[in-house]
């Protein structure tokens, strides 16, 4: 596959700043991921279909949402579009984007060392969307905040109606099932650990089989 000069500069800069952190490039793409076991930190040097250059997107994907692809469940666009004009002007831009990505990866690592940190995040930032409530409910359930987890699952499930898109209906059904699992916190934890393993398998990540720390 032919590589353009501006894409090569991004890859080179990313390797300088991200590889030493253990962040890995996905194939030969402009997407890099940091595997944290129960979640991924994703770094995307997103191209544009209109011009050569790059955006910078960095965020987290909670792996108990079983899917075959990365989703920005928290975080996303960090830098607007930078247009490539010449190699001499582009190289310092690529370097700055990679440096910024490195800083954000390290920040997310510190902010979310366990589901307890995620539950605390959603306590400070009231979840306003279905998926935010879903993730907050799981984080609360894993940290024995059973009442809050149940309330969040109920609120999320109530968003679905007969005319809702299928993904929301499916998500609401999953909320009801997980809410029932909360009757036994140990079984709930096992269910979420199984979801994480399924999510990792679909995203072609290695098995971890490690209990989720609170």
In tens, the pLDDT along 52-86 reads 878 899 999 999 999 999 999 999 998 888 677 77
pTM: 0.92
The answer to whether residue 39 scores a pLDDT higher than 60 is yes
Mean pLDDT, range 104-116, rounded to an integer: 97
Q: Kind of pairing, strands 24-25 and 31-35?
A: antiparallel
Same domain, residue pair 10 and 91: yes
Mean pLDDT, range 23-30, rounded to an integer: 91
Same domain, residue pair 151 and 79: no
The last residue of a domain, from among 76, 93, 111: 111
Go through 48-72 and write b for each residue having 16 or more CB atoms within 10 A of its CB, e for each that does not.
eeeeebbbbbbbbbbbbbbeeebee
In a domain, 209, yes or no: no
Res 214: pLDDT = 67
In a domain, 24, yes or no: yes
For residues 120 and 92, what is the distance between their CA atoms, to the nearest angstrom? 37
Structure tokens of 99? 């440096």
Enclosing domain of residue 85: 5-111
Res 1: pLDDT = 38
In a domain, 36, yes or no: yes
The last residue of a domain, from among 96, 111, 126: 111
In a domain, 211, yes or no: no
Same domain, residue pair 122 and 28: no
Same domain, residue pair 89 and 105: yes
Same domain, residue pair 12 and 90: yes
In a domain, 213, yes or no: no
For residues 211 and 99, what is the distance between their CA atoms, to the nearest angstrom? 33
Count the Cβ atoms, other than its own, within 10 Å of residue 90: 21
Same domain, residue pair 9 and 107: yes
The structural domain count of the chain equals 2
The answer to whether residue 3 scores a pLDDT higher than 70 is no
């Amino acid at each position: 596959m032919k590589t353009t000069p501006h894409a090569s500069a991004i890859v080179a800069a990313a390797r300088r700043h991200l590889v030493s952190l253990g962040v890995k490039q996905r194939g030969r793409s402009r997407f890099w991921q940091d595997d944290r076991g129960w979640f991924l930190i994703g770094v995307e040097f997103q191209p544009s279909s209109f011009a050569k250059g790059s955006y910078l997107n960095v965020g987290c994907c909670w792996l108990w949402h079983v899917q075959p692809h990365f989703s920005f469940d928290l975080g996303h666009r960090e830098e607007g579009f930078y247009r490539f004009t010449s190699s001499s002007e582009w190289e310092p831009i690529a370097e700055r984007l990679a440096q910024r990505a490195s800083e954000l990866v390290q920040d997310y690592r510190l902010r979310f060392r366990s589901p307890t940190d995620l539950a605390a995040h959603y306590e400070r930032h009231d979840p306003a969307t279905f998926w935010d409530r879903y993730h907050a409910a799981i984080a609360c359930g894993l940290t024995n905040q059973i009442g809050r987890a149940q309330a969040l699952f109920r609120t999320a499930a109530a968003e679905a109606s007969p005319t809702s898109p299928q993904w929301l209906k499916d998500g609401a059904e999953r909320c009801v099932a997980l809410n029932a699992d909360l009757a036994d916190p140990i079984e709930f934890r096992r269910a979420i650990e199984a979801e994480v393993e399924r999510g990792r398998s679909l995203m072609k990540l290695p098995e971890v089989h490690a209990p989720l720390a609170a």
